[in-house]
Structure 1
Amino acid sequence: MFVGSEMSIGLDKLFLLDKSRTRSISAENPTGEKGKGGMALPTEDTEYPNSSAALELGQGWKARPFLKPKAGETLTIMDIDGPGVIQHIWMTSDMSFKKAGRSCVLRFYWDNEETPSVEVPMSDFFAVGHDEFAPMNSAVVIVNPLTALNCYWQMPFRKHARITFTNELNTDLELLAFQITYAETEVPEDAAYSHAQWRRGVTEKSHPEFTILDGVQGKGKYVGTFLAWTQLSAGWFGEGEIKFFMDGDKQFPTICGTGVEDYFCGSWGFPETYSTLYAGNTLRLKGLDDPQKFSPPQWSLYRWHIMDPICFEEELRVTIQSLGWGQDGKYRPLEDDIASTAYWYQTEPHQKFPDFPSYKERWPR
Structure 2
Amino acid sequence: MTAWLEQARYALERGDRSRSFTAENPTAAPGDGGRASSILGAGRKGAPCITIPAGGTVTLAEAAGAGEIRHIWCTVTHHTEAVGFVLRDLVLRAYWDGSDTPSAEVPLGDLFCNGNGQRSLVTSSQVVVAPTSGMNAYFRMPFRDGARITIENQHPVDVEGFFYQIDWIEIPDPATVSPLRFHAEFRRENPTRLAHDYALVDDIVGRGVFLGSYLTIVALERYWWGEGEMKFFIDGDTDHPTICGTGTEDYYGGAWAFQDRLSSETEPEVLTFSAPYVGYPMYVTRDQSHQAVYATAMAPAHGMYRWHEPDPIYFHHDLRVTLQQIGQVGPDLVERADDVSSVAYWYQESVGNTGHPFPSRDQRRPR
1:298 to 289, 298, 301: 301
Distance in 2 (CA, whole Å) between partners of 1:89 and 1:156 is 14
Aligned length: 342
Q: Which has the higher contact order (CA 8 A, sep 6+)?
A: 2
Range moving further from structure 2, 140-149 or 179-188: 179-188
Kindly provide the CA deviation profile for residues 253-309 of structure 1, in whole angstroms up to 9, marking residues without a partner as x. 111111001100111111211100000000133359xxx843211111000011111
Percent identity reads 39
Aligned: 1:267 with 2:255: yes
**Residue 222 of structure 1: CA displacement?**
0.3
**AA of the residue aligned to 1:33:** A
Kindly provide the CA deviation profile for residues 199-229 of structure 1, in whole angstroms up to 9, marking residues without a partner as x. 0003545424111001111100000100011
Q: Secondary structure at the match of 1:183?
A: strand
**AA of the residue aligned to 1:27:** A
CA RMSD for the aligned pairs? 2.1
**Residue 39 of structure 1: CA displacement?**
2.4
Distance in 2 (CA, whole Å) between partners of 1:249 and 1:144 is 40
Distance in 1 (CA, whole Å) between partners of 2:183 and 2:348 is 7
Kindly provide the CA deviation profile for residues 303-355 of structure 1, in whole angstroms up to 9, marking residues without a partner as x. 0011111100011111001111022x221111101010000000114454322
Alignment-derived partner of residue 233 in structure 1: 221
**AA of the residue aligned to 1:22:** S
1:258 to 233, 243, 246: 246
Alignment-derived partner of residue 44 in structure 2: 61
Alignment-derived partner of residue 340 in structure 1: 342
- Greater helix fraction, Structure 1 or Structure 2: 2
Query: CA 1:205/1:212 → structure 2, altered by over 3 Å: closer, same or farther?
Result: closer
Range moving further from structure 2, 352-361 or 295-304: 352-361
Alignment-derived partner of residue 48 in structure 1: none
**Residue 140 of structure 1: CA displacement?**
1.0
Distance in 1 (CA, whole Å) between partners of 2:165 and 2:63 is 14
Distance in 1 (CA, whole Å) between partners of 2:163 and 2:114 is 17
Query: CA 1:219/1:148 → structure 2, altered by over 3 Å: closer, same or farther?
Result: same
Aligned: 1:32 with 2:34: no
Distance in 2 (CA, whole Å) between partners of 1:221 and 1:107 is 20
Distance in 2 (CA, whole Å) between partners of 1:218 and 1:301 is 27
Q: Where in structure 2 are the equivalents of 1:1-365 lying within 5 Å?
A: 10=4, 13-14=7-8, 17-18=12-13, 19-40=15-36, 42=37, 54-55=38-39, 57-95=40-78, 98-185=84-171, 186=173, 188=176, 190-204=178-192, 206-271=194-259, 272-286=271-285, 293-327=296-330, 329-365=331-367
Distance in 2 (CA, whole Å) between partners of 1:11 and 1:131 is 39
* Matched-pair contact (CA < 8 Å) for 2:192–2:339: no
Distance in 1 (CA, whole Å) between partners of 2:258 and 2:22 is 39
Q: Secondary structure at the match of 2:228?
A: coil
Query: CA 1:131/1:216 → structure 2, altered by over 3 Å: closer, same or farther?
Result: same
**Residue 146 of structure 1: CA displacement?**
1.1
Distance in 2 (CA, whole Å) between partners of 1:205 and 1:193 is 32
Structure 1, unpaired ranges of 5+: 2-7, 43-53
* Matched-pair contact (CA < 8 Å) for 1:240–1:323: yes
Alignment-derived partner of residue 5 in structure 1: none
* Matched-pair contact (CA < 8 Å) for 2:95–2:147: yes
Distance in 1 (CA, whole Å) between partners of 2:283 and 2:186 is 23
Query: CA 1:190/1:149 → structure 2, altered by over 3 Å: closer, same or farther?
Result: closer
* Matched-pair contact (CA < 8 Å) for 2:232–2:319: yes
- Greater strand fraction, Structure 1 or Structure 2: 2
Distance in 2 (CA, whole Å) between partners of 1:105 and 1:254 is 33
Distance in 2 (CA, whole Å) between partners of 1:12 and 1:116 is 33
Q: Secondary structure at the match of 2:52?
A: coil
Q: Secondary structure at the match of 2:250?
A: helix
**Residue 62 of structure 1: CA displacement?**
1.4
**AA of the residue aligned to 1:236:** W
**AA of the residue aligned to 1:254:** T
* Matched-pair contact (CA < 8 Å) for 2:189–2:341: yes
**AA of the residue aligned to 2:221:** S
**AA of the residue aligned to 2:252:** F
* Matched-pair contact (CA < 8 Å) for 1:228–1:299: yes
Distance in 2 (CA, whole Å) between partners of 1:348 and 1:13 is 25
* Matched-pair contact (CA < 8 Å) for 1:208–1:323: no
* Matched-pair contact (CA < 8 Å) for 2:194–2:337: no
Q: Secondary structure at the match of 1:124?
A: helix
Alignment-derived partner of residue 264 in structure 2: none
Q: Secondary structure at the match of 2:161?
A: coil
Query: CA 1:9/1:91 → structure 2, altered by over 3 Å: closer, same or farther?
Result: farther
Query: CA 1:26/1:72 → structure 2, altered by over 3 Å: closer, same or farther?
Result: same
Kindly provide the CA deviation profile for residues 87-139 of structure 1, in whole angstroms up to 9, marking residues without a partner as x. 00000112165542000000000011011000000000011011221111101
**AA of the residue aligned to 2:115:** G
Range moving further from structure 2, 301-310 or 180-189: 180-189
